[in-house]
Structure 1
C-alpha cells in the first residue's frame, strides 16, 4: 500500500497547492511536513480531513477496478498500440486516481514517464522524473524497478547510453526481490541488449538478446522476436560473423512480414543493406535500401536513412548518375522536414556528396572540416566519423595534400579505436 504521506504530498503538488493551503485549519505546517515526509503517522480523522480538502475519497472499494485498468494500460505502453487508445485509457485512469486513494497510484505515476516517452513528449517525461524524485525515498522494490527502468528509457531517448545502462543495471538488481512476469523480464533483457549494442558492447548485446529471445519464442511473441533478431544481426555483423547476421536479419524480416509491421520490415531491410555494404556486395545493399525508399508508407526518417545510404553506396561504386538522382531525391525529402536540427545529419550528407559531384571541392572541404566532422564528434557518432574522415582523407590524398590526408586518416583511426571494444 502506498504510504499515505507520500500520497498526500504527490496530490498536493499535482494540484499546485502549498502546504499552508492544505494545512490551514487542520494541522500545523510542521506537522503536515512530518506527515508528508513519513516522520509521523497521523490519525485517521486528520487523514480524512486532508484528503477531503484535496478532493480525494478514502474508499478502497474501487482498488481492484483501478488496478486492473492500470495493468491493461501498462501493457499498452510496450506493444504496438494506437496512441489515441493509450491516451483515452490514461485519461480514464487519471479521473479515477484524482478522486480515490489507491495503492496503484505510485506505480501509475512512475509509468507516466514511459507514457510521455511513448508520446514523444520528452520535456513532460523529465518533469515527471523531477517531480517524483522528491518522494523516491519512499519507493518499495517494485516502484524502484520501474523508476530505474523508465529513467533508463529517458536517458536512451536522449542518447545518453552510459547513463541509461547504469539505470537498467539498477533495475536489474531489483528483479530477484520482486515478482514480475516473464514478458517483463524479457523486456528488460531486450533493452539492456539494445543499450549494449549502442555502446558497442557486442558480446554482451548477444548475451542479453539471447535471453530475451528465449522467452519471447516460448510466448510466440513474434513481433518482439523480430526486434531481438535485428539486435543479434547487428551484433554478428560487427564481429564479421556474416552468415549468422544474415540468418537473424532474414528471420526478423520474415516475422515482420508475418505481423505486417512496416516499421520492422523497413528497419530490417536497412540493416541488411548495411550488412551487404560492409561485405562489399553493393548490388544486394542497394536492393535492400531501395525496398525502404520505395515504400510509400515509410516514415520520413526511414526514407532519409535509406536515401543517405544509397547516396554513399552509389558514390562508392562510382555510379555518379544514380548518386546524383539519389541526392536530388534526398533534397526533395528535406522539404518535409519541420525540425531541421533533428535531421541535420542528412543535410550534411546530401551537401557533402552534392559538392563532390559538382567538383566544388572548396565547399566540400569547408563543410566537412568546419561543420560536418565536428558535428559528428560532438554527437560521438564514430561510425560516420570514420566514413567521412576517410572520404576527406582520400580527397586530400588524391590532390597530393598528404599532410592533410594523414590528419584525417588519424581521425578515422581514433574513431575505430572507440568502437572496437567488443
Structure 2
C-alpha cells in the first residue's frame, strides 16, 4: 500500500481534515499531492505526518500484522466462533492504530464483511461510505474484495440486482489477481445464490456446478453441501423433482458426515418446500417440524420453518395445529424483535391468525394496507404472489368481486415478472 494512500486512509479514519494534519508540517496542497500519489515526500515529512497520526513505522511489526490479518481474513471466509473473530479483530485494530502496515487497506475492506457477519448493518454501511473516499487508490486485489463485500451488503438488504452487479465487477478482477481456489469457488457460489434469488435458474445451475467442482477438489464438503442445496432449489423450480431430491439427499449426507447442523436443517427446510410444492403436506410437515424443534438453528430459520408449518396446516384445514404453531411462532418472534426479518414474520403470523379466527376486517386491513405494500417495497415476489392470491380468494368469498379481481391480477402480473427476470 502506497504511503500516500496509507496517510489518507488514517486521516479519514481519525476524522482529521487535511488542514489539521498539514498544519505546521506542509501546505494543504502539498499534503493533497502526497495523499493522491502525485509527489514523493521526504522521509522526514512522512515521519512527521505519521507522528501526528500516532503511527509507528516498524517493518518487523508489519510482518507479524500481515500474518495475523491473513488468519483473520480466513476466519471471516469460513464458519468460525464469533467470539474468536471479535477477539482477533480487536487485537488487529489496536496494532493497526499505531503501526504502518501494508495490510491496513485489506483490513479496512474486510471490516465490511466483519460487520455483516455480526449483523451490524449500520456499521457496515458506515464503513463502505468511509472507504468510498479512498477507493480510487485500490489495486485489483482490493477491488475484488471491495466489490464482493459491497455485493454481500446489497444482498443482505434484499437488493439482489445491485448485488449481482457488484459480484460481476468482482469476477472481472479474477484474471488480474491471485487468490485461493476456495476463494474463487466462494465467489462462484455467491453468484449462484444471487442468481437463485433473481430466479435465473440456468445461471444458478451453471455457477453452482463451477463452485462444487472446486470445493470437491479442495475436500471442502460443507461448501459442497451448500452447493447441492442451491442445485436442489434450482431443479425444484423447474419441476425436476427427482433430481432436486437427489441433490438434497447428497447435501443431507454431507451435513451428517461433517456434523453440520446448519447444512442438515437447511436441507430439511428445502425438502419441506419441495414436498409442499408437490402437494405432499404430510412429508412437508415432517421436515419443517425437524427445523422448528432444533434449538441450535438460527431464529430466522426456525421462524421460516414454523410459518411454513402454519401454512401447511392451514392448507389442509388442520386449524387446531395451525393455532398451536402460531402460539409457538409468536414466542420465537419475540426473540427476533430487533431483526431485519421481524416485520415479514409478524405479517405472516398475524395474517394466518386473522384468517383462522375469521376476523375478516382485521385480515383484509392487514394484508391489503400493510403486508402487500411491504412485500412490493421489498420486491419479495414469491410471497407477493402467495398473499395476493390469498387476499383475492378471501375477497371473492366476501362477495367483493371487483377488489378480488384486482389482487388476482396483481398475483398474475407478479408471476409474469418473476418468470421474465
Question: What secondary structure sits across from 1:318 in the alignment?
Answer: coil
Q: CA deviation at 1:283?
A: 0.8
Counterpart of 1:363 in structure 2 is 362
Kept in 1: contact 2:13–2:130 (CA 8 A): no
1:392 deviates by 1.9
Say if 2:340 is the partner of 1:352. Answer: no
Q: Give the aligned partner of residue 290 of structure 2.
A: 291
Pick closer, same or farther for the CA change 1:332–1:60 going to 2, 3 Å: closer
Residue matched to 1:129: 128
User: Unmatched 5+ residue regions in structure 2?
Assistant: none
Could you say which residue in structure 2 is the equivalent of 1:378?
A: 377
Counterpart position of 2:41: 42
CA contact (8 A) 2:300 2:341 kept: no
Aligned pairs (5 A) from 1:3-42:
3-42=2-41
Which whole-Å CA distance do the structure 1 matches of 2:59 and 2:109 have between them? 21
Q: Is the 8 A contact 1:186 1:212 kept in 2?
A: yes
Q: Distance in 2 between matches of 1:373 and 1:173?
A: 38
Q: CA deviation at 1:335?
A: 3.3
Q: Please tell me whether the aligned partners of residues 331 and 350 of structure 1 are also in contact (alpha carbons under 8 angstroms).
A: yes
Determine if contact 2:147/2:166 at 8 Å carries over to the other structure. Answer: yes
Given the two structures, how large is their TM-score scaled by the length of structure 1? Answer: 0.95
Measured in 2, the distance between the counterparts of 1:241 and 1:177 equals: 39
> Cα RMSD between the aligned structures?
1.7
Between stretches 174-183 and 354-363, larger displacement belongs to 354-363
User: For 1:123-162, what aligned pairs fall within 5 Å after superposition?
Assistant: 123-162=122-161
1:99 paired residue number: 98
After superposition, what is the alpha-carbon deviation per residue over 1:95-136, rounded to whole angstroms, capped at 9, x for unaligned? 222222222121111111111111111111111111111111
**Partners of 2:355 and 2:14 in 1: CA distance:** 59
Distance, in Å, in 1 between the alignment partners of 2:241 and 2:178 is: 39
Structure 2 distance, partners of 1:340, 1:171, is 29
Q: Indicate whether 1:113 and 2:102 are aligned.
A: no
Distance 2:283 2:106 in 1: 48
Q: Is contact 1:186-1:216 (8 Å) kept? A: yes
State the Cα distance separating 1:410 from its structure 2 match.
0.8
Instruction: Name 1:178's counterpart in structure 2.
Output: 177
Q: Quick check: 1:201–1:421 contact (8 Å CA) kept in 2? A: no
* 2:260 equivalent to 1:255: no
How many angstroms apart in 2 are the aligned matches of 1:179 and 1:340? 37
- Residues of 1 paired with 2:340 and 2:176: CA distance? 43
Q: Residue deviations 1:3-30, cap 9 Å, x none? A: 1111111112222333233223221222
Unaligned runs of 5+ in 1: none
**Map 1:224-243 → 2, pairs under 5 A:** 224-243=223-242
Q: Which residue of 2 aligns with 1:221?
A: 220
- 1:63-74 matches, cutoff 5 A: 63-74=62-73
Deviation readout 1:111-162 (Å, 9 max, x if unpaired): 1111111111111111111111111111111111111111111111111111
What is the distance in 2 between the residues matched to 1:57 and 1:366? 63
- Determine the structure 1 residue equivalent to 2:51: 52
**Structure 1 match to 2:409:** 410
Distance 1:317 1:53, change over 3 A: same
The 8 Å contact of residues 150 and 166 in structure 2, kept in 1 or not, is answered as yes
Structure 1 counterpart SS, 2:420: coil
Q: Secondary structure at the match of 2:317?
A: coil
SS of 1:347's equivalent in the other structure is: helix
Paired residues for 1:272-311 under 5 Å: 272-311=271-310
Q: Matched residue of 1:200: which SS?
A: coil
Rounded to whole Å, the distance in 1 between the matches of 2:336 and 2:54 is: 45
User: Under a length normalisation based on structure 2, what TM-score does the superposition of the two structures give?
Assistant: 0.96
Contact 2:65/2:95 (<8 A) preserved: yes
